Amino acid sequence: MQCTPMTTLEAGDTLDHYRLDATVARSGMATLYRATDLCDGRQVAIKVPHAEMEADPVLVERFRREQEIGQELDHPGVVKTYDGEERSRLYMVIEWVEGLLLRAILSQERKLPIDRAIHLALQILDALDTMHKHGVVHRDLKPENIMVDDEDRIKLIDFGIAMKEDARRITFVDMSATLGTPDYISPEQVKGQRGDQRSDIYSLGIMFYEMLTGEPPFTGPNPLAVMNERLLHDPEPARSRRREISPELNEILNRALERDPRRRYQTAGEMAWELEHQEQVGVDDDERQPVLHGMKLPNARRLLLYAGLALVPVAIFVLMVVLARR
């Protein structure tokens, strides 16, 4: 069937000169299809926004920005998007990537061999370095957004809430879109800030920790509890969960997961250099514990501080609800 704007699409339909072969994934904003370009036979991915999204100019602008980012970034570790043709409706044509999501690999293997985890992390850092130098911040790095092929080469995918530093601000009023994913979000994003390249480094630190230990550093019964944990606590040292992790590698994780972005790696290149030159990494003799770092407060004041910090995610959630109702 040849589709027209707002038609509900199914596998087997034709959209302009693309045949939709299979539905790959559905999200709250769009559906992703594996497709064939009938002009040259190549496989592509087609991302089609839902009808209600097309009616929202802010969401349409965000969709177009995601497409622009994929066109601008020329890096083997970043998925490409294609343009340059007239289309009958709003949709995105994306490079088709064979492989497994990092999430699927972690689900199968739990923790990875240390050398493999470092290999994957270095590739992600290289892709981030290029992105950040072009003024693009991903803001939603997680294993679900990393593809790994059968030669262990990675691709960053899904730039749905990515930010361009020189672009008009369109997403900050939508708090749920700004926040990203609770398990991997940086502390500054939990507080409602926009985030910058150091936020991506923190999210990579969470993923790297999970690759090495088999579980993320912060867990809880619900997303608010997880976000609250990273506001209050430093992670348990990865080395205490896996003794083969060297003190130097443990220190690199600590620096990536600093709650204060000023104490974190400032660029992806800095973290990559230390991963490649671990013998030159200075190690803090005091392994960090999951407590408020460097603070010694009387019990009463400590409880008040904990209570205040605990209310931050709740306040953000209430604000999200109020904005949604407007």
* pLDDT 10s digits, 200-219: 999 999 999 999 999 999 98
- Tally of structural domains, the chain: 2
- Residue 268, pLDDT > 90, answer yes
Considering only CA atoms, which of 213, 223, 189, 220 is closest in space to residue 203? 189
The predicted pLDDT at position 172 comes to 40
Does one domain contain both 105 and 73? no
Q: 144: domain range?
A: 100-325
Q: Are 233 and 259 in contact (CB under 8 A)?
A: no
Of residues 292 and 272, which shows the higher confidence score?
272
Does one domain contain both 104 and 78? no
Looking at mean pLDDT, say which of 80-84, 106-110, 320-324 comes out highest: 106-110
Pick from 70, 95, 120: which residue ends a domain? Answer: 95
* Full-model pTM: 0.81
Q: Are 94 and 80 in contact (CB under 8 A)?
A: yes
Query: For residue 72, what are the CA distances in angstroms to 128, 281, 313?
Result: 14, 35, 35
The predicted pLDDT at position 160 comes to 80
- Residue 243, pLDDT > 90, answer yes
The predicted pLDDT at position 287 comes to 52
Angle at 163 between CA 66 and CA 42, to 5 degrees: 25
Pick from 95, 123, 153: which residue ends a domain? Answer: 95
Annotated catalytic residues are 140
Integer Cα distance of 295 and 303 in angstroms: 13
The predicted pLDDT at position 161 comes to 83
Q: Are 226 and 210 in contact (CB under 8 A)?
A: no
The predicted pLDDT at position 324 comes to 47
Decide if 156 is inside a domain.
yes
